[in-house]
Amino acid sequence: MLDPQARALIDLMVERAVPAVHTLTPAEARRFYLERRFFTQPEPPAVGEVRALRTDGGVPLRLYRPAAAGVHPVLVYFHGGGWTIGDLDTHDVLCRQLCDAAGAAVLAVDYRLAPEHRFPAAVDDCLAAVRWLRREAAALALDGARVAIGGDSAGGNLAAAVALLLRDAGEAAPALQLLIYPATDQRAGAPSHRSNAQGYLLTADSVAWYRGHYLPDPAQWTDWRASPLLAPDLSRLPPALVLTAGFDPLRDEGRQYADALSAAGNRVQYVCFERQVHGFITMSKVIDEARTAVALCGAVLRQAFGG
């Protein structure tokens, strides 16, 4: 059964004739996504500090610090939006919630978007942000030895790719991969891409729209930086928490990635919110289970950071 709160949201969007993302230009879609957040997201919760930063290469960042004093561990967070929409503001509330729930700093990354900047620009920016954070952690009074990476949807895809790139470069592994309904296989052939193709916010049409902007050449779909599930070696990766939603086209590839990580010998926790839709974790004003998901992420992050 679809969560009644998710059903009510979908029905309201139909009633109000909210345009499907694949019918819009990227600029229009970004504006709609930014404006629509006020309906589904609560007021931004207070945190100790919010600070604008940039990497050496100019990637915009936003640092959220808890109110409690101390040198905090850090979650580097990559927002969702199909590599095409979304920014620091669309995920401001979620980053504040994660900061509070985890008792950790959160560094949100405003990576370059497609189609202006196609694959692998977003991957490059996210990797650069993690490396920059590790270099600058002491100057920011942050714990560079306790760094997690995470993201939702496209952001989960980017976090998985960054974890692989850090391993291959021989760099220290993050404390955790927080992968929230991640895209892991750009071929989009898993059964949930058919069973959840229409009617649940993220549709087959919108999946193709996002992918077309980010990965216009089908030959790129099997590059493991775009499809981490296809990486030839998934061993020696950080512990992972993988969350999926039951009424999401990406459900099965998220589960497949969790299973593949486990099969390769990694520590993995997998939780499917069976009655939810793609994108639900940012919708805690209208979907109660979003708060449950944030609390779960916070608890696992605290554990990964050592308490």
Q: Please report, for the domain that includes residue 197, its CATH number.
A: 3.40.50.1820
Strand partners, 151: 78, 179
Q: How many CA atoms lie within 13 A of 31 on its CB side?
A: 6
- Give percent of the chain with pLDDT exceeding 90: 99
Q: How many CA atoms lie within 13 A of 204 on its CB side?
A: 12
Range of the domain at 15: 4-304
Phi first, then psi: what are they for 125, rounded to 5°?
Answer: -65, -40
d(C-alpha 281, C-alpha 250), whole Å: 15
For the record, the structure tokens of 240 come out as 């992972």
177 has pLDDT over 90 = yes
For the record, the structure tokens of 21 come out as 């993302």
pLDDT in tens, 88-138: 999 999 999 999 999 999 999 999 999 999 999 999 999 999 999 999 999
Number of domains in the chain: 1
pLDDT in tens, 259-273: 999 999 999 999 999
| Per-residue model confidence (pLDDT) at position 144 | 97
278 counts as catalytic: yes
Q: Which of 152, 248, 252, 284 is catalytic?
A: 248
d(C-alpha 160, C-alpha 29), whole Å: 25
Q: Which of 3, 87, 153, 223 is catalytic?
A: 153
* Contact of 248 with 278, CB cutoff 8 Å: yes
- Nearest one of 2, 46, 44, 39 to 18, comparing CA atoms: 39
pLDDT in tens, 30-71: 999 999 999 999 999 999 999 999 999 999 999 999 999 999
307 has pLDDT over 90 = no
153 counts as catalytic: yes
Is this model's pTM higher than 0.95 or not?
A: yes
Q: Which of 79, 193, 213, 278 is catalytic?
A: 278
